[in-house]
């Protein structure tokens, strides 16, 4: 008797994909359950991609505006600053307004990179690279305006502390403008070194992954022989921490020194001790607004929604709300101190700003800097990307008008009514201002194509932030 054994085919059992278990106490900083290799590939592939039509349109527009600004600067240098709308009463106007505005924009990068790193804020990792680059570009834009305003810009090197072979002529070390030079030069140097140091590990990663031979050769030189060893990482982290500690005081000192340009004078509207902290809060306020203005289109067109999430914008909105509230409080304190002093000249400046011929600029400043940012109290507003983008642009507009109000409305009506005068910018000044924005966006767009827009090594450290 034979037994027939039927053949039962083997069923291939596929292992179940283990999904990470998220902690109920932490929200993920990076979405999409990315692995280390996926994070590296997502960021590095942006360097190999050819720029799309949107990038070329944006670059063409910004570069065209830059060229127009350079033509206006050339015309100013050849003809003189008489091409501007300045007069005997208003000797400072657009140039110094733009200078203070761009210096303020550069503060968010150092704040995000240095201070938040010292406080171990993990959410900074996706936005610090763009903010650091923005700082460098903003300081470059700011440095143009004092040089142009000199009248003889080809002699700008006289301000440098070099050996003087012409005789006993030395710079006036008591001048706040000279303090500006040293503060801004130090700030630019530290920011550039800090940004480049953070790039080195990512440049080494790009060196080993990009397909272009030219890019590979450039990254090979810029990565300084990085090999990823334990000793290399250990020394890198120590140096990075030291530079963060050195850069942190600059956030407070640089714009405080810029405020001394006004506070050390005896002019009503400028001579106030609240200016240093008020300027620092305003700088961080406008800087974070510009970071959001830049990152929202970057996130959309480079498809970085998994890395720059709504939580990042939520945290930036909270910082903007805090600093914006400090700025609004400073406005009230400045008005209160002016009336409390009993000085009729201080009171006149306050009333003239609110009710005088430049009241439209004053109330634009109040609306954009004191009222509109209060919308960030609402979670629904902080979760809406279009609303955040619109509010960030309005904040930048308001902060530019703040500097305009401080400078022009304090100058155009001084102690003698016979010398009162109005100021109106000429087209040359408008084109120079537009050209500074063209320079800023041109440099930023080139940065997006040349360097990793997100710090690869720091993002990997927070991939498992919310996993239990």
**Mean confidence (pLDDT) of the chain:** 86
Q: Are 59 and 444 in contact (CB under 8 A)?
A: no
pLDDT confidence band for 467 (50 / 70 / 90): low
Angstrom CA distances, 416 to 355, 387, 413, stand at 19, 46, 8
pLDDT tens sequence across 203-212: 998 888 888 8
Q: What is the mean pLDDT of residues 40-45?
A: 86
**What's the token pair of residue 74?**
């050339």
Q: Per-residue pLDDT tens for 209-224?
A: 888 888 889 989 999 8
Q: Which pLDDT band, with edges at 50, 70 and 90, does 3 fall under?
A: very low
Q: What is the residue whose two structure tokens read 């085919």?
A: 9
Cβ-contact 320, 395 below 8 angstroms: yes
Q: Using one digit for the tens of pLDDT, what is the confidence trace for 326-341?
A: 999 999 999 999 899 8
Per-residue pLDDT band for 178 (boundaries 50, 70, 90) equals: confident
pTM of the model: 0.89
Rounded to a whole number of angstroms, the CA Rg of the chain reads 26
Q: What pLDDT was estimated at residue 5?
A: 45
Query: Could you give the 3-state DSSP secondary structure of residue 344?
Result: helix
171: pLDDT strictly greater than 80: no
**Residue 356 CB partners (closer than 8 Å, separation 6+):** 409, 413
Q: For the residues 356-365, what does the mean pLDDT come to? A: 93
Confidence of residue 7 (pLDDT cuts 50, 70, 90): very low
List of E strands, 397-449: none
The string of pLDDT tens digits covering residues 279-312 is 989 988 998 999 999 999 999 888 888 888 899 8
Tokens of 160: 């440098």
Tell me how far apart the alpha carbons of residues 20 and 40 are, in angstroms, rounded to a whole number: 19
Query: Residues 396-417: what's their mean pLDDT?
Result: 90
End-to-end CA distance of the chain: 61
pLDDT for 86 beyond 80: yes
Percentage of the chain surpassing pLDDT 70? 92
Q: Is the pLDDT of residue 392 over 90?
A: yes
Quick one: CATH architecture of 36-162+169-460?
Up-down Bundle (1.20)
């Amino acid at each position: 008797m034979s037994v027939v054994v039927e053949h039962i085919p083997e069923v291939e059992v596929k292992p179940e994909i283990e999904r990470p278990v998220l902690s109920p106490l932490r929200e993920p900083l990076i979405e999409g359950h990315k692995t280390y290799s996926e994070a590296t590939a997502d960021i590095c592939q942006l360097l190999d991609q050819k720029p799309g039509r949107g990038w070329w349109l944006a670059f063409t527009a910004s570069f065209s505006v830059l060229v127009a600004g350079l033509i206006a600067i050339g015309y100013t240098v050849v003809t003189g600053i008489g091409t501007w709308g300045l007069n005997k009463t208003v000797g400072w106007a657009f140039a110094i307004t733009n200078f203070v505005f761009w210096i303020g924009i550069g503060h968010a990068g150092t704040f995000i990179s240095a201070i938040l790193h010292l406080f171990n804020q993990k959410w900074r990792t996706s936005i610090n690279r763009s903010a650091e680059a923005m700082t460098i570009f903003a300081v470059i834009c700011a440095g143009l305006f004092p040089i142009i305003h000199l009248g003889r810009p080809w002699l700008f090197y006289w301000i440098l502390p070099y050996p003087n072979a012409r005789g006993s002529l030395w710079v006036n070390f008591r001048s706040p403008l000279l303090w500006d030079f040293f503060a801004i030069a130090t700030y630019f140097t530290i920011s550039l070194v800090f940004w480049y140091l953070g790039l080195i590990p990512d440049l080494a990663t790009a060196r080993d992954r990009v397909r272009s031979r030219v890019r590979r050769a450039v990254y090979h030189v810029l990565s300084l022989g990085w090999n990823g060893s334990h000793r290399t990482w250990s020394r890198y982290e120590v140096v990075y921490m030291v530079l963060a500690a050195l850069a942190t005081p600059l956030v407070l000192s640089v714009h405080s020194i810029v405020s001394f340009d006004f506070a050390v004078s005896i002019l009503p509207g400028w001579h106030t001790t609240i200016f240093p902290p008020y300027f620092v809060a305003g700088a961080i306020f406008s800087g974070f607004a510009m970071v959001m203005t830049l990152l929202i289109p970057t996130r959309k067109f480079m498809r970085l929604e998994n890395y720059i999430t709504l939580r990042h914008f939520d945290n930036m909105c909270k910082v903007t709300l805090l600093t914006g509230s400090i700025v609004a409080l400073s406005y009230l304190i400045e008005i209160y101190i002016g009336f409390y002093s009993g000085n009729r000249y201080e009171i006149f400046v306050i009333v003239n700003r609110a009710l005088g011929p430049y009241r439209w600029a004053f109330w634009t400043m109040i609306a954009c800097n004191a009222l509109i940012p209060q919308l960030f109290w609402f979670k629904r507003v902080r979760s809406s990307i279009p609303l955040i983008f619109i509010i960030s642009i309005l904040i930048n507009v308001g902060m530019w008008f703040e500097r305009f109000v401080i400078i022009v409305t304090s100058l155009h009506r001084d102690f003698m009514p016979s010398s009162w005068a109005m100021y109106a910018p000429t087209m040359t000044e408008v084109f120079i201002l537009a050209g500074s924005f063209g320079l800023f966006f041109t440099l930023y767009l080139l940065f997006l194509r040349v360097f990793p827009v997100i710090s690869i090594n720091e993002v990997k450290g927070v991939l498992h932030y919310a996993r239990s």
